[in-house]
Amino acid sequence: MKRLFIAAFIAFGFSSPALAGHCPKDVKLIDAALTQQSNAKVQSLRDKGDTLHKAGKHKESLATLHEAMKILGVKH
């Protein structure tokens, strides 16, 4: 059981930076779509997602950014 916990901890440690690297890409996709279609709610979600990313809350950031992308019809 101890080995399983250690393996899970190590796996999470390696996956967290990968998730962190995805947020800026999503922000750029949203920015590109926003130039074509201005939307206050999407802009608000984009800003919130970027703020969450900078605060290190990548899971919440991705959820927020994906919501904005869904509204715009942008696939990630």
Give the domain ranges of the chain: 2-72
Q: What is the pLDDT of residue 3?
A: 56
Model confidence, pTM: 0.59
Torsion from C-alpha of 24, 29, 35, 40, nearest 10 degrees: -70
Q: How many residues does the chain have?
A: 76
Q: What is the pLDDT of residues 10-48, one digit of tens each?
A: 555 555 555 567 788 888 888 887 766 667 888 899 999
